[in-house]
């Protein structure tokens, strides 16, 4: 592999460089505990399900331990779920079977052979876009857009202190999306300038 050590660090997702060594295992266990407690873990899936047709083909980009992917699968959608973390993917296979799980970097995502004519929608729950490698946000958005049918939606949410909305909105335009709607939560509370979380509904052009 070529490149300097600094290049290798910069090309590594923040999920690995900005978290502790055992963070992935903790994350998987955390959601197992929430599920055992009966917590509502399907809010993101309900929103996606509300805006797509039945039996849609959906990409879960940054699926983590698979909670959103599985919830969409159980709602009758065909779900392909992608994550770069093998620990979380192992948890997804164990805890949330049903979707197709793939290990891949979102900034180099190429599923053209599996796709046919594209996904009907994509979703990134949690703070996925804030955990990609620094400087790859536009490329991640472009890769996801390239896997969608024309006019398909991409719904993602993140804390705005991790990724300023001004910078995100520029990346959205550069990637060929347009912002259709924005909310403060996955249950569609209105967005205000004081909101600390943003759920954006993007439309591919």
- Out of 4-18, 87-101, 182-196, pick the least confident: 4-18
pLDDT, one tens digit per residue, over 106-126 is 999 888 645 467 999 999 998
d(CA 155, CA 34): 23
Average pLDDT over residues 177-181: 97
pLDDT, one tens digit per residue, over 154-167 is 999 999 999 999 99
Q: Is 185's pLDDT higher than 50?
A: yes
For the whole prediction, is pTM greater than 0.85? yes
* Averaged confidence pLDDT in the chain: 91
Cβ count near 48 (within 10 Å) = 25
- Out of 9-23, 65-79, 90-104, 153-167, pick the least confident: 9-23
Q: Which helix (H) or strand (E) holds 30?
A: helix 23-36
| Annotation: CATH topology of 5-204 | Rossmann fold (3.40.50)
Which residues lie below 8 Å from residue 105, measured CB to CB, with a gap of 6+? 13, 84
Average pLDDT over residues 25-32: 92
- Closest to 47 in 3D by CA, of 178, 201, 202: 201
Average pLDDT over residues 9-27: 83
pLDDT band at 170 (very low <50, low <70, confident <90, very high): very high
């Amino acid at each position: 592999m070529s490149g300097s050590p600094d290049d290798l660090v910069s090309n590594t997702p923040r999920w690995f460089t900005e978290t502790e060594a055992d963070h992935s295992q903790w994350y998987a266990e955390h959601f197992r505990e929430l599920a055992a407690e009966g917590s509502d873990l399907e809010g993101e899936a309900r929103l996606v399900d509300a805006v797509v047709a039945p039996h849609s083909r959906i990409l879960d980009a940054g699926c983590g331990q698979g909670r959103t992917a599985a919830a969409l699968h159980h709602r009758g959608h065909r779900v392909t779920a992608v994550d770069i973390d093998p620990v979380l993917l192992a948890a997804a296979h164990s805890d949330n079977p049903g979707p197709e799980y793939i290990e891949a970097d979102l900034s180099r995502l190429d599923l053209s052979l599996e796709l046919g004519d594209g996904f009907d929608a994509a979703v990134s729950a949690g703070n996925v876009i804030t955990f990609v490698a620094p400087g790859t946000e536009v490329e991640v958005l472009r890769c996801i857009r390239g896997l969608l049918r024309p006019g398909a939606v991409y719904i993602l949410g993140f804390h705005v202190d991790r990724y300023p909305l001004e910078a995100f909105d520029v990346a959205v335009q550069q990637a060929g999306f347009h912002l259709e709607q924005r909310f403060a939560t996955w249950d569609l509370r209105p967005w205000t300038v004081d909101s600390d979380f943003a759920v954006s509904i993007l439309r591919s052009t």
